[in-house]
Amino acid sequence: MINIKSEGILLVLSSPSGAGKTTIAKALCRNDTNTNLSISCTTRAIRPGEIDGKDYHFIDHDSFLNMVAQNKFLEYAIIYDCLYGTPRDKITELVCSGNDVVFDIDWQGAASLKKQLPNNVVSIFILPPSLEILKKRLESRSSDNVTEIDKRFKEAIHEISHYVDYDFIVINDNLNEAIEEVHNILKSERLRRKRRIGVSSFIETM
């Protein structure tokens, strides 16, 4: 197979809580060796089963603010009273080397990322098949209490309104099909001429 030098893609997956963006993001990175999952920093408490440095970088509030002051985040946002941010250096290194990075972030982070690196961002909004099913998915989470579930469900209505800001929409009715649709979008975007920065060199050597 002929390899042509390309710029990396920042593949943004957003959805209301419970619609499946995290599951899809992790599956994509398992199935595609050229993808890397962006690991955000967060001030929220670690949940059962999560691993520091694998799921998130869990840091305290003051450490997060110090990183903001030092411009160490590509984007950051407040979500459910906690801070989340994407470390800048690692992402820049991956993109420049032609690797794709998958982001599991909300609409605020997506907007900030697009503003900084508009030519690299491809954004996908993941929708649930219905609000009723979304509510059931939230209720099935053992880690969240009733108050948290109600809060997340109300916020979901607001988050869904931002679907118009995204390049693609995927409805997560069947998880395997949703993963495949997201992967197909990524593979298609890799073939865009503007990303294949090595085409001129390739043509000269034909």
Domains and CATH numbers, the chain: 10-38+99-204 (3.40.50.300)
From first to last of the 206 residues of the chain, give the pLDDT tens digit.
788 888 899 999 999 887 889 999 999 999 999 999 999 999 999 988 899 998 899 999 999 999 999 999 998 888 878 999 999 988 988 988 889 999 998 898 899 999 988 999 999 999 998 988 888 877 776 566 777 778 878 888 889 999 999 999 999 999 999 999 999 999 999 999 999 989 999 999 88
- Alpha-carbon distance of 107 to 161, in angstroms, equals 10
Each residue of 10-30: b (16+ CB within 10 Å) or e? bbbbbbbbbbbbbebbebbbe
Given 3-state DSSP classes, what are the helix, strand and coil percentages for the chain, each rounded to the nearest 5? 45, 20, 35
